[in-house]
Amino acid sequence: MQSRRRGQRGQVLLMVTFALIPMFGILGLVADFGYMHFVKMSAQTAAEAAAQAAIISYHETVGGSNPACGDTGVVCSTSPADCASNISTPTNPIERGCMYAQSHGFNSTNQRITYQAGVGSAPPTAPGIGNPAYWVTFRVIQRVPQLFSAVLGNSSGLVAARSTAAITGASDCIYALNPHASGALSVGGTASLVSSCGIYVNSDNGCGISTNGNGAILTAPEYDVVGGACTQNPLTPSANTGVSPTSDPLAALPVPASAPYTCDHIGTVSGNTDTVLSPGVYCGGIHVGNATFTFSAGTYILVGGGLSTQSSNSHIVGNGGVMFYNTFGATTNSSNYSYSPIQIGATSTVNLVAPTSGTYQGILFFEDRNSPPANDDYGGGATAVYQGIIYAKNAAVTMYGNSSVDTAYTMLVADTISLIGTSGFNNNYSSLLNGSPIQTTIMVE
């Protein structure tokens, strides 16, 4: 009997011994899978950090200039390419992304970081977002040695993570950048602003968006405001209050010229005779009297004097693709011109269309970022056309008299914005290669 019991105990011991082997293997597998999951999360964080760093760097240094693959800072690769190792001083946005991934601990021999990037095409891993102006995909790969589960023949496991970021057209088309003003965006009296695209107001004031009078109408698909909105009539939809401040959306746009300027025309160009003007540097600005001034396609650099009109008999035409850079400063003939704002009368007639290609596609007015605070007036009566971006980050811009109601698109970036009369902002960017000329960064995956 005792011998039989000893035999049974021996069998149990043997069975337990045999069972421990797979049990330890399973426990080891669980431990290894847990560690691989930790590595996977770390790899995903590194990939996302790389994609964000690269696309933000691109947007700050290149975005807005409508570049092509091979241009300065624009790196493209249709298939995964390896990041250089141990980057300490990045020379382009892709290298900055690689450096961020490496700084998250992925820079050893059993790790690999790759990138893909393209201009004006859909990312192969996220075709549903259309054709962004620029996109970048980072992959972080690591081979992880197995420990406990190695007894089962699993000597190593592969962990991979991927993230894609892109530059795409902004949904907003009106930006009031003043950080504290009451009524940074204001609609007065019986005026109305009807926008097909969103509004972004940087002011943290409780009345950053305001209307003055029960007849004032403000309509847009989205209102983003750091502070709050004070309107006689409720906004539909309700304003998104308390949003994070935004930066200048065109901060990376290069200036077309800088001081000292070489004057093509000296003294204010003005008159009461119909005139056709050519692109060039106008030192002293342009004043339109009782006449029609027609602007041929190209870039007009206004060094002092700005652009102004006289009355309802003043007519401005420039529908072949024009851009005005309003600046000030020294010239090569030893003159120094002070800054003057844009002053287009409410009753004047205007038909201006921005370029549809090149560095300044979609840019209609570009005011010197170093200009002093000024008051800009954009009028033009019931048929006024301002097709393009009015970019005046330091100016208090007032729009008068039914401006841009029937224009394909109009965008406005200013310090503060006031609407008097009926203004319409549309968002038909079909004439532009990359859609909205104001681009923003998004994380795709």
- Residue 276 belongs to a domain: yes
| Last residue of one domain, picked from the residues 134, 169, 204 | 169
In order of 307, 342, 364, 375, 405, the CA distances from 315 in angstroms are 12, 15, 17, 21, 18
Nearest CA among 131, 133, 101 for reference residue 114: 101
- Residue 401 belongs to a domain: yes
21 and 138 part of one domain? yes
> Number of structural domains, the chain?
2
272 and 370 part of one domain? yes
157 and 282 part of one domain? no
pLDDT score at 256? 95
Domain hosting residue 97, numbered range: 2-169
- Residue 319 belongs to a domain: yes
- Residue 237 belongs to a domain: no
Distance of CA 326 to the CA centre of its chain: 22
- Residue 370 belongs to a domain: yes
pLDDT score at 132? 85
332 and 432 part of one domain? yes
- Residue 234 belongs to a domain: no
Residue in this structure with the two tokens 């409508």, named with its chain if needed: 66
290 and 419 part of one domain? yes
145 and 273 part of one domain? no
| Last residue of one domain, picked from the residues 169, 201, 225 | 169
260 and 163 part of one domain? no
pLDDT truncated to tens, each residue of the chain (445 aa)?
455 555 555 566 666 565 555 655 555 556 666 777 788 899 999 999 999 999 999 988 876 666 789 988 899 999 999 999 889 899 999 999 999 999 988 887 778 999 999 998 889 988 877 788 899 999 999 987 766 655 556 666 788 999 999 988 888 999 999 999 999 999 987 778 888 999 999 999 999 999 987 778 899 999 999 999 999 888 999 999 999 999 899 988 899 999 999 999 999 999 899 999 999 999 999 999 999 999 999 999 999 999 999 988 999 999 899 999 999 999 999 999 999 999 999 889 999 999 998 889 999 999 999 999 999 999 887 788 999 999 999 999 998 866 556 689 999 999 999 988 777 888 999 898 778 888 888 899 9
- Residue 186 belongs to a domain: no
154 and 254 part of one domain? no
- Residue 209 belongs to a domain: no
285 and 418 part of one domain? yes
| Last residue of one domain, picked from the residues 146, 169, 192 | 169
282 and 410 part of one domain? yes
The amino acid sitting at 342 is: I
254 and 133 part of one domain? no
144 and 270 part of one domain? no
For residue 367 the two structure tokens come to: 């005011």
